[in-house]
């Protein structure tokens, strides 16, 4: 596993639509492993493949609830409720903004074994799913911010 460079706002790759995955390969498995390592190193809760420069429909999420989610070709099939809260992004370090998202989502995606699964999320998990899936279509959270972005102290990675 290796830490990959996180692409920052302004990089064209973040505004492109990603391509679906047709089959799991050793190369894609390495990408997924690297994405987890990169996300953990940066103290993130989610990371999408375009954030490391790869235009594939892959997302990894770990909100600290003892579950880690690998979502391949994910799509939200149900969304309801509403939550408004602060969001940040590893591609926009040191910034946050207020975004309204669904409070509950059901996401259909393939796992690393290419088995179709449904992931149901509420609260933070629903927010993370929506945020990361937006990345796959070239959408950044700053596009949905309600009152503009503001600076925050970046979270330093733990030793």
The answer to whether position 156 is within a domain reads: no
CA distance 83 to 80: 10
Q: How confident is the model at residue 75 (pLDDT cuts 50, 70, 90)?
A: very high
Range of the domain at 138: 12-151
Computed on alpha carbons and rounded to an integer, the radius of gyration of the chain in Å comes to: 15
The answer to whether position 65 is within a domain reads: yes
The answer to whether position 44 is within a domain reads: yes
Give the CATH number, domain containing residue 115: 3.90.45.10
Active-site residue, 37 included = no
How many Cβ atoms are within 10 Å of 1's Cβ, its own excluded? 11
Catalytic residue among 22, 87, 112, 132: 132
Q: How many domains does the chain have?
A: 1
The answer to whether position 6 is within a domain reads: no
The answer to whether position 113 is within a domain reads: yes
pLDDT digits (tens, 9 = 90+) for 112-141: 999 999 999 999 999 999 999 999 999 999
Per the annotation, where are the binding residues for Fe cation?
89, 131, 135
pLDDT digits (tens, 9 = 90+) for 46-67: 999 999 999 999 999 999 999 9
């Amino acid at each position: 596993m290796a830490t990959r460079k996180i692409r920052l706002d302004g990089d064209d790759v973040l505004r492109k639509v990603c391509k679906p995955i047709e089959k799991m390969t050793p190369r894609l498995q390495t990408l997924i492993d690297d994405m987890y390592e990169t996300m953990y190193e940066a103290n993130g809760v989610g990371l999408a493949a375009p954030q490391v420069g790869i235009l594939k429909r892959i997302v990894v999420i770990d909100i600290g609830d003892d579950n880690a989610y690998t979502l391949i070709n994910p799509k939200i099939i149900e969304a309801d409720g509403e939550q408004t809260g602060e969001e940040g992004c590893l591609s926009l370090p040191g910034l946050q903004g207020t975004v309204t998202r669904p409070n509950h989502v059901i996401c259909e995606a393939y796992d690393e074994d290419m088995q179709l699964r449904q992931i149901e999320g509420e609260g933070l998990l629903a927010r993370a799913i929506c945020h990361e899936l937006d990345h796959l279509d070239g959408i950044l959270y700053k596009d949905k911010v309600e009152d503009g972005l503001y600076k925050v102290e970046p979270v330093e990675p733990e030793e």
